[in-house]
A and B are shown apart, each in its own frame.
Chain A
Amino acid sequence: EADIYQTPRYLVIGTGKKITLECSQTMGHDKMYWYQQDPGMELHLIHYSYGVNSTEKGDLSSESTVSRIRTEHFPLTLESARPSHTSQYLCASKSSAGLRTDTQYFGPGTRLTVL
């Protein structure tokens, strides 16, 4: 079983607040990802990282930012939350070592509601 953690699991905040969603993994995986899952269930890649000090924007444009200062930690920050940011945010990681390491392991998600 994969060891990837997200906190908080649920967050309700007011418009304009700054928030950080935490994601940590204990597997030593070099690659990490953030997905946004809309109420219709579709999943969209918003950020990814291939290692420390590497971050890239994903397929869906997002106002959030990410950082990767340590291998195990990949936090996502919203400087000023808005109701349009209400969604579920899923973090994932995978290793690039070994043969055909395609499998991403997911955390339990953070359900964010912005009022």
Chain B
Amino acid sequence: GNSVTQMEGPVTLSEEAFLTINCTYTATGYPSLFWYVQYPGEGLQLLLKATKADDKGSNKGFEATYRKETTSFHLEKGSVQVSDSAVYFCALSGQAGGTSYGKLTFGQGTILTVHP
């Protein structure tokens, strides 16, 4: 079945540092890939997504590239801010026509804390 593995956390950075959160996946065919963010006490918000190989999703300075050859979708940001402190989830949605289409499979989440 489908699975998503995120790097071990938590991650603690100083403001303006470079961020990478690794994400790899196992799935058949061509899933869609997502990064969601969860701020304290809130639900999940879509941060970015990519729907086919070599697509780059980007939003609010965050980027991730769909790498089919390495089955990865690593999240990066060049300069983090205190307001980026949150939990980040990598997720995939199964290929259209498959039994898992439309259902999200999540990684375990990575807590990011950014200090001033």
Which listed residue (B32, B34, B41, B108) contacts A42, Cβ 8 A? B108
Which of A86-114 touch B at CB < 8 Å? 90, 92, 94, 96, 100, 102-109
Tell whether, in the assembled complex, residue B106 and residue A96 are in contact, meaning their CB atoms are under 8 Å apart: no
CA distance A59 to B51 in the complex (A): 23
- Whether the Cβ atoms of A31 and B102 lie closer than 8 Å is yes
* Among A40, A48, A90, contact of B108 (Cβ-Cβ < 8 Å): A40
Residue A12 lies at the interface, judged by CB distance under 8 Å to chain B = no
Total count of chain A residues near the partner, CB < 8 A: 25
Chain B 29-72, CB-CB to A under 8 Å as 1, else 0, gives 00010101000011111100101000000000000000000000
**Interfacial chain A residues near B109, Cβ < 8 Å:** 41-43
A19 at the interface (CB under 8 A from B): no
User: Which among A6, A59, A96, A103 has the greatest number of chain B C-beta atoms within 10 A?
Assistant: A103
Q: Is residue A45 contacting chain B, with contact meaning CB distance below 8 A?
A: yes
In the complex, the answer to whether A42 meets B93 with C-beta atoms within 8 Å is no
Q: How far is the CA of A109 from the CA of B96 in the complex (A)?
A: 28
Taking beta carbons and an 8 Å cutoff, which residues of A are in contact with B? 6, 31, 33, 40-43, 45, 48, 50, 58-59, 90, 92, 94, 96, 100, 102-109
* 8 additional A-B residue pairs with CB within 8 Å, beyond A31-B102, A94-B102: A6-B43, A42-B106, A43-B89, A43-B104, A90-B44, A102-B51, A103-B49, A107-B43
Chain B interfacial positions (CB closer than 8 Å to A): 32, 34, 36, 41-46, 49, 51, 87, 89, 93, 96, 102-104, 106, 108-109, 111
Q: List 28 A-B contacts (CB under 8 A).
A: A33-B104, A40-B108, A41-B109, A41-B111, A42-B106, A42-B108, A43-B104, A45-B103, A45-B104, A90-B44, A92-B104, A96-B102, A100-B32, A100-B51, A102-B32, A102-B34, A102-B51, A102-B93, A102-B102, A103-B34, A104-B46, A105-B46, A106-B36, A106-B43, A106-B45, A107-B43, A109-B42, A109-B43
